[in-house]
């Protein structure tokens, strides 16, 4: 018998982006509900980078706001939720969500497909997760080329994923590419759930090292990643103070989103 799904589906308006007022248990329960009811959906894991970029890109904003679930990824987003009066919200980042749902899937028998990452990354990700969670069912992996796929290539990918019959398609293309891909494909792919998890493919495949737990809890994971990839991430990290400043303006009513 299916357990009653959590009613905590309220979305918090953070700078015009709806973030679900949830914690990890709520997220897992909602994913299970989508699989059991076979309801097509996609999930956006949202750091402040996603929220800030959504203010400039209306297509991205529409896709994130249309997601079945948009999770608070990063302590700055959690702090923003609490500043706006939602004190029970906890971080639900892509890496932790993948680990938690993989553990649950061993018990429930859910099938997983990994789409994204550089050559060899999704295969190594699958290998590592199967070692960590014996009995995990992986039905396919695919590393797409960096270029845009031709229409026939894209159709072949959709057919490949549908033949594999996954319950969950994990998408690791980076933001905003993965959000745009899910928005374009979720009606064509038969899997009940697609989840964009960004850097989780690199972390859990071992390609990149994740920050220590204390840095994650202190909201300093961005600093650890910046030291690892300064050229790629330096511009993005200007978002942190600007993001919190804008949320404060929203909180006191100076600006409305």
Q: What is the pLDDT of residue 176?
A: 95
Rounded to whole angstroms, how far apart are CA atoms 46 and 19? 8
Q: Which residue has the higher pLDDT, 242 or 70?
A: 70
CB 58 within 8 A of CB 179: no
pLDDT (mean) for 128-148 = 95
pLDDT value of position 43 = 98
Share of the chain above pLDDT 70, in %: 87
Domains of the chain by start residue, with CATH = 11-205 (3.40.50)
Residue with the two structure tokens 């026939």: 152
Give the Cα separation of 96 and 81 in Å (integer): 19
Question: What average pLDDT does this structure show over 149-168?
Answer: 96
Mean pLDDT confidence for 63-68: 96
Mean pLDDT, the chain, as a whole number? 90
Given a cut of 60, whether residue 234 has pLDDT beyond it is no
Average pLDDT over residues 110-133: 97
The pLDDT value given to residue 64 = 97
pTM across the whole model: 0.89
Over residues 25-39, mean pLDDT: 95
Instruction: Round to whole Å and give the CA distance between 113 and 169.
Output: 5
Confidence at 175, pLDDT banded by 50, 70, 90: very high
Tell me which range, 26-30, 149-153, 203-207, is most confidently predicted by mean pLDDT. 26-30
Pairwise CA distance, residues 113 & 228, whole Å: 28
Q: Is the confidence at residue 177, as pLDDT, over 70? A: yes
**pLDDT interval class at 218 (50, 70, 90):** low
Give the residue-averaged pLDDT of 43-69: 96
Residue 187 has pLDDT above 60, yes or no: yes
The per-residue pLDDT for 238 is: 66
For 203-231, give one letter per residue: b (16+ CB within 10 A) or e. Answer: bbbeeeebbeeebbeebebbeebeeeeee
Residue 14 pLDDT > 90:
yes
Mean pLDDT of 198-203: 91
Nearest to 170 by CA among 189, 155, 156, 148: 189
């Amino acid at each position: 018998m299916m357990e009653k799904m959590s009613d905590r589906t309220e979305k918090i308006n953070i700078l015009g982006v709806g973030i679900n007022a949830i914690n990890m248990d709520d997220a897992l329960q909602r994913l299970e509900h989508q699989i059991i009811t076979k309801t097509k959906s996609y999930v956006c894991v949202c750091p402040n980078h996603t929220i800030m970029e959504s203010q400039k890109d209306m297509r991205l904003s529409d896709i994130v706001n249309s997601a079945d679930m948009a999770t608070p990824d990063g302590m700055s987003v959690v702090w923003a939720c609490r500043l706006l009066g939602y004190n029970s919200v906890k971080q639900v980042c892509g890496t932790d969500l993948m680990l938690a749902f993989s553990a649950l899937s061993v018990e429930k028998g859910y099938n997983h497909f990994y789409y994204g990452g550089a050559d060899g990354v999704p295969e190594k990700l699958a290998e590592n997760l199967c070692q960590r969670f014996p009995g995990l069912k992986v039905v396919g992996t695919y590393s797409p080329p960096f270029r845009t796929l031709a229409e026939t290539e894209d159709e072949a990918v959709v057919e490949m994923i549908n033949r594999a019959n996954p319950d969950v398609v994990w998408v690791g293309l980076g933001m905003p590419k993965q959000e745009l891909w899910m928005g374009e494909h979720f009606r064509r792919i038969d899997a009940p759930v697609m989840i964009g998890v960004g850097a989780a493919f690199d972390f859990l495949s071992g390609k990149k090292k994740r920050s220590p737990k204390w840095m994650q809890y202190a909201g300093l994971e961005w600093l650890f990643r910046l030291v690892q990839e300064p050229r790629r991430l330096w511009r993005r990290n200007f978002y942190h103070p600007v993001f919190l400043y804008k949320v404060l303006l929203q909180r006191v009513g100076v600006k409305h989103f």
